[in-house]
């Protein structure tokens, strides 16, 4: 359904080039995490935010076995398409919700889809950080990786609503 919606929105956008009515172009955004989900409540929130995000982007949530699988996915070894790897790490760049929206807006013009990767309990290796196209931090506090997934998905949803001027985000 998101791909059909994407095609429909793009055809509408080509027909209506009014600056005030332009919609945010949909692009591919994959959120990946290492390990299976243990808590049903976390899975329910993950599913809810993935569904919400699907209104704005061609989104997927993927559970992978380990870091090697993450890097293989980013390089395009599991499918034909390479991704820009955005690792979540406490040592990465911290954004406000508005800055994350600006980041997503800038990335829309790139040819590579985004792959947001959340590590397991031990985080990511230095090698993975070197291969990443960007390292993002949700803050300096330590979060369980399952909770970090929900926080990331909510912030991605919030960023897209900011870009669409949706009232979900009221700002400061």
Matching residue, tokens 């600056």: 19
- Tens digits of residue pLDDT in 118-160: 988 888 999 999 999 999 999 999 888 899 999 999 999 999 9
Domains and CATH numbers, the chain: 25-163 (3.40.1280.10)
- Tens digits of residue pLDDT in 57-69: 899 999 999 999 9
Give Dmax over CA atoms of the chain in angstroms: 49
20-54 burial, b at 16+ Cβ within 10 Å, e below that, comes to eeeebebbbbbbbbbeebeeeebbebbeebbebbb
Query: Whole-model pTM above 0.75?
Result: yes
Report residue 22's pLDDT band, with 50, 70 and 90 as the boundaries: very low
Is residue 172 pLDDT above 90, yes or no?
A: no
In whole angstroms, give the CA distance from residue 128 to residue 115: 13
- Tens digits of residue pLDDT in 84-96: 999 999 889 999 9
Q: Label residue 76 left, alpha or beta by phi (over 0 means left) and psi (-120 to 50 means alpha).
A: left
């Amino acid at each position: 359904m998101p791909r059909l919606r994407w095609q429909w929105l793009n055809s509408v956008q080509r027909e209506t080039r009014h600056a005030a009515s332009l919609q945010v172009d949909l692009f591919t955004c994959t959120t990946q995490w290492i390990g299976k989900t243990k808590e049903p409540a976390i899975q329910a929130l993950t599913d809810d935010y993935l569904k919400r995000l699907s209104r704005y982007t061609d989104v997927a949530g993927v559970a992978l076995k380990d870091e090697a699988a993450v890097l293989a996915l980013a390089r395009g070894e599991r499918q034909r398409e390479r991704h820009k790897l955005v690792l979540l790490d406490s040592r990465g760049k911290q954004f406000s919700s508005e800055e994350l929206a600006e980041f997503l807006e800038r990335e829309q013009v790139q040819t590579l889809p985004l792959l947001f990767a959340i590590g397991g309990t031990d985080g990511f290796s230095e090698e993975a950080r070197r291969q990443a196209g960007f390292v993002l931090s949700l803050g300096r506090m330590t979060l369980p990786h399952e909770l970090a997934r929900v926080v990331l998905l909510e912030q991605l949803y919030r960023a897209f609503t900011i870009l669409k001027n949706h009232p979900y985000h009221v700002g400061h």
